[in-house]
Structure 1
Amino acid sequence: MQTGTRRVVLVGTGFVGMSFAYSMVNQGGAEELVLIDVNHEKAVGEAMDLNHGIPFGPEKIEIWAGDYSDCKTADIVVVTAGVNQQPGETRLALVERNAKIMRDVIKNVMQSGFNGILLIASNPVDVLTYIAWQESGLPKHRVIGTGTTLDTARLRYQMGKYLDVDPRNVHGYIVGEHGDTETPLWSHTSVGVKPIFDIIKDHPEYKREDLEEIYVNVRDAAYHIIERKRATYYGIGMCITRIVKAILNDENSVLPVSAYLDGEYGLHDIFTGVPAIVNRNGIREVFNLNISSEELEQLTKSVSILKETLDTVR
């Protein structure tokens, strides 16, 4: 973590990147926000547009279109650069195109002398977070992917609708790949402190079979959105902001980010979405939860598929 002014650099000013930037301006937390894009003039225009909203924001923030030299004193570099997922295309199918982009970006970031925390949001996020870690040479706890934060938010939203409760009071996680093989941890899902299975037991109008439908809706949400509007960006933009604020504020918050596994859940040498404690140093600890045998089997399968994909671009 750098000292002094809290600087965040964003690489990639597409829909996801600018949704994050707009969210940061509205929520506050950083003192400087630098926008980098291969199309520098677009970054200039985006910076101008954001700056015009600062008088109505919660706090003053300096925003400008910069270059990779601005990464040197940054606390966090957020990477959203990459090509978009197309209708009907899986996130893993993006890997070859975006792996090259990620290597180029990280090489340029590190050449600046950057020594902060990398936060990767480009898809497929788990594979690209691993590539960013390899390319950067940074310690594994200072390279983080957005992981299953968005999937978890979708789960909490869907459960809130189903149970007619505030989704902020739904606690639970999606783990594994941010994609088709992700899995919900129903064994650790609760409303307040009441486990979901106890709620179903006490309320006959709720059924276990409904949980499978909720999970499918969460898993396939991106496909439904992309079919209708060609991209998803507001939700992930707010997820990135949540992680950035947890880092900058040294919160020690538990978030389902893409973290390096080194024996947790019996899995090794992979980045994937798991609950972890996030603070100003990055990942303080990966939670090694006592999950059901079925959940562990699904998580293991998810990681196996991620490794197969990663092997094609290492």
Structure 2
Amino acid sequence: MTHEAGEGSGGLDGFVDGGSTPPPRPTAKVAVVGAGSVGATLAYAVLMRGAAREVVLYDIDRAKVRAQALDLAHGIQFMPMAHVVGSDDIAACAGADVVVVTAGAKMKPGQTRLDLAAQTIGLTRTLMPQLVEVAPDAVYVMVTNPVDVVTYAALRCSGLPREKVLGTGTVLDSSRFRYLIAQHVGVAVQNVHAYIAGEHGDTAVPLWSSATIGGVPLLDVPPLDGRERLTPEVRDAIAHEVVHSAYEIIAGKGATNYAIGLASSRVVEAVVNDERRVMPVSSLVSGYRGIDDMCLSVPTMVSHAGAGTLLPTPMTDDEVAALRHSADTLHDLARRFDL
């Protein structure tokens, strides 16, 4: 495990050269737990977007976390003003407004995914009380997989209220979904509004019935520029790629980090800026479409308070059934770990 950490400081203040009036200095402190590729990419994205006045990287690997923090700090001149700290002391996270947990166990030869999940959940149970002790008022964003069960474990062992613990859930899946739809239809991805719900995993549910392009229901959009219609076969292929594209990336370069780093930074930004942005984060669901007591993703209002109202997104009977199946799968997995 590289619980992703280090010593240090490497803090530098800086500003972007040029421009008549500098932007207002951000006020948030964001702590990133885990200085591996995802944690470092996330910290980089938070800094580039100007979402925090201070970014702390915490990891038990002192040399690595110091190196990551120094590398980021040396580029502060080219970003909005911020302070970067790398430390192997959990006290560095004190007073954070948002704590993002990317740390997890690393797979060893002969281990199964279930073995890996057991180790990661064990780490979560150890880590969360320590983090809450130093940052009791933070909103906690869980990134480590299996993210839904990890989020559920973090909520249960932290004693925090529901809204204060959320996972990145299907934020990345939904981004992949929108990208693939945009590629097929031939429009800008920013004009596609569509969500993946349920588990961040094999039972993820594409919500085709509520998807729109420019306000027009996706399934009513005629073929553009002679492109193929979104037939059931095409939709199945897109849904399959949403779930399985990570495997291709991992096979090619060993890990995913850019898209999840960007997705996670966008959740952080929604919290620190109190945006009330609708995002498919993973949070505790109770009494929603017949689902109770499990963390999974549905479109949710994200603000300074954390995970807020769950939106009553329209769904077909088949989509509701698939969402319940996803919840049942997660319940079964949680029970394996006595959650």
TM range (shorter): over 0.9
Offset, 1:97:
1.5
Is 2:29–2:98's contact at 8 Å kept on the other side of the alignment? yes
Residue type at the aligned position of 2:117:
V
Q: Deviations over 1:55-107 (max 9, x none)?
A: 111x11100113222333110110000035689x9866632111011112112
Is 1:91–1:123's contact at 8 Å kept on the other side of the alignment? no
Quick check: 1:206 aligned with 2:254? no
Q: How does 1:1-314 map to 2 (within 5 A)?
A: 5-57=27-79, 59-66=80-87, 67-84=89-106, 94-200=116-222, 205-208=228-231, 209-313=233-337, 314=339
The corresponding residue for 2:23 is: none
Higher helix share: 1
Paired with 1:93 and 1:305, the residues of 2 have a C-alpha distance of 17
Residue type at the aligned position of 1:183:
V
Residue type at the aligned position of 1:72:
A
| 3-state secondary structure, aligned to 1:177 | coil
Residues 201 and 93 (structure 1 numbering): CA distance in 2 closer, same or farther, change over 3 Å? farther
The corresponding residue for 2:14 is: none
Residues 15 and 123 (structure 1 numbering): CA distance in 2 closer, same or farther, change over 3 Å? same
Is 1:246–1:279's contact at 8 Å kept on the other side of the alignment? yes
Runs ≥4 in structure 1, deviation > 4 angstroms? 84-87, 89-93, 200-204
Paired with 2:260 and 2:116, the residues of 1 have a C-alpha distance of 17
| 3-state secondary structure, aligned to 2:302 | strand
% identical equivalent positions: 37
Offset, 1:301:
0.6
Paired with 1:113 and 1:181, the residues of 2 have a C-alpha distance of 34
CA RMSD of aligned residues (A): 2.0
Is 2:96–2:135's contact at 8 Å kept on the other side of the alignment? no
Offset, 1:284:
2.0
Worse-matched range after superposition: 205-214 or 16-25: 205-214
Residue type at the aligned position of 1:224:
E
Paired with 2:240 and 2:325, the residues of 1 have a C-alpha distance of 17
Is 1:258–1:271's contact at 8 Å kept on the other side of the alignment? yes
Is 2:185–2:227's contact at 8 Å kept on the other side of the alignment? no
Is 2:184–2:227's contact at 8 Å kept on the other side of the alignment? no
Paired with 1:47 and 1:260, the residues of 2 have a C-alpha distance of 33
Q: Structure 1: where are the runs of 5+ without partners? A: none
Residues 216 and 181 (structure 1 numbering): CA distance in 2 closer, same or farther, change over 3 Å? same
Structure number with greater Rg is: 2
Residue type at the aligned position of 2:289:
Y
| 3-state secondary structure, aligned to 1:277 | strand
The count of corresponding residues between Structure 1 and Structure 2 is 310
Is 1:176–1:182's contact at 8 Å kept on the other side of the alignment? yes
Residue type at the aligned position of 2:293:
D
Is 1:90–1:179's contact at 8 Å kept on the other side of the alignment? no
Residues 90 and 264 (structure 1 numbering): CA distance in 2 closer, same or farther, change over 3 Å? farther
Paired with 2:267 and 2:53, the residues of 1 have a C-alpha distance of 16
Residues 273 and 86 (structure 1 numbering): CA distance in 2 closer, same or farther, change over 3 Å? farther
Paired with 2:118 and 2:97, the residues of 1 have a C-alpha distance of 29
Q: Structure 2: where are the runs of 5+ without partners? A: 1-25
Residue type at the aligned position of 1:254:
V
Worse-matched range after superposition: 99-108 or 234-243: 99-108
Paired with 1:181 and 1:224, the residues of 2 have a C-alpha distance of 18
Paired with 1:102 and 1:191, the residues of 2 have a C-alpha distance of 39
| 3-state secondary structure, aligned to 1:65 | strand
